[in-house]
Chain A
Amino acid sequence: MRGLTFDIAHMLAGSLVLVSFMQLYQDRLYALLNIFALHASVLAASVAWQAFIQDAPHLYLTAVIALGFKAIIIPVALHRIIVRLGIHREIETVVGIGPTMLLGMGLVALSMVVMLRVTAEADPLAREDLAFALSVILLGLLMMVTRRNAVSQVVGFMSLENGLVLAATGAKGMPLVVEISVAFSVLIAFIVIGIFLFRIRERFDTVDVQALDHFRGERR
Chain B
Amino acid sequence: MTFDALVGVLLVPAIAAAMLAALPGYRLAARLNMLAALLTFVVALSLFFVKPKAGSYLLVDDLNKIFIVLTTFVGFTTSVFSASYISHEIEIGRLTPATVRFYHAMYQTLMFAMNLALVANNIGLMWVAIELATLTTVLMVGIYRTHEALEAAWKYFILGSVGIALALFGTILVYMAARPVVGEGLDAMIWTMLVQHAARFDPALLNVAFVFLLLGYGTKVGLAPLHAWLPDAHAEGPTPISAVLSGLLLNVALYALLRFKMLLALTPAAIAPGPLMVTMGLISCVFAAFMLYRRRDIKRMFAYSSIEHMGIIVFAFGMGGPLANFAGLLHMTMHSLTKSAIFFAVGHVAQVKGTQRIADIGGLTVTNPVLGWGLVLGVIAIAGLPPLGIFMSEFLVVSSTFARQPWLAIALALGILIALGGLFLRLNTIAFGEPRGPTAPAHASYVPMFAHLAIVFVVGIYMPPALVTGFQNVAKLLG
Contact = CB atoms under 8 A, between A and B. Distances in A.
Contacts of A167: 169, 172
Nearest to B129: A183
Contact of B157 (A115, A161, A191): A191
Interface in A22-60: none
Interface string B143-164: 0010110110110011001100
Contacts of A150: 154
Contacts of B235: 217
Chain B CB within 10 Å, residue with most, of A200, A204, A219, A220? A219
A203 B154 CA distance: 14
Contact of A196 (B150, B176, B295): B150
- Chain B contact-residue range equals 35 or more
Contact of B207 (A118, A212, A215): A118
Interface stretch (A4-12, A78-86, A96-104, A171-179): A171-179
B165 A160 contact: yes
A187 B135 contact: yes
B185 A164 contact: no
A120 B180 CA distance: 13
A122 interface: yes
Nearest to A119: B205
A150 B131 CA distance: 21
Nearest to B122: A176
A212 B150 contact: yes
A209 interface: yes
A153 interface: yes
- Chain A contact-residue range equals 35 or more
Contact of A153 (B158, B300, B356): B158
Interface in A166-209: 167-168, 171-176, 179-180, 183, 186-187, 190-191, 195-196, 199-200, 203-204, 209
B158 A199 contact: no
Contacts, number: 125
Nearest to B206: A118
Contacts of A209: 154
A134 interface: yes
B124 A176 contact: yes
B165 A161 contact: yes
Contacts of A164: 165, 168-169, 172
B6 to A, nearest CB: 19
Nearest to B154: A196
Given A118-B207, A173-B185, A175-B185, A187 B169 contact: no
B191 interface: no
A180 B150 contact: no
B169 A134 contact: yes
20 contacts: A118-B202, A119-B176, A122-B176, A122-B202, A137-B165, A157-B161, A157-B162, A157-B165, A160-B162, A160-B165, A167-B172, A171-B172, A176-B124, A183-B132, A196-B157, A199-B142, A199-B145, A215-B148, A217-B235, A219-B357
Interface of A: 114-115, 117-122, 126, 130, 133-134, 137, 141, 144, 150, 153, 157, 160-161, 164, 167-168, 171-176, 179-180, 183, 186-187, 190-191, 195-196, 199-200, 203-204, 209, 212-213, 215, 217-220
Given A168-B172, A212-B150, 15 more contacts: A118-B204, A133-B169, A137-B166, A157-B158, A160-B162, A172-B184, A174-B172, A174-B189, A176-B122, A183-B132, A191-B157, A200-B154, A215-B147, A217-B235, A218-B296
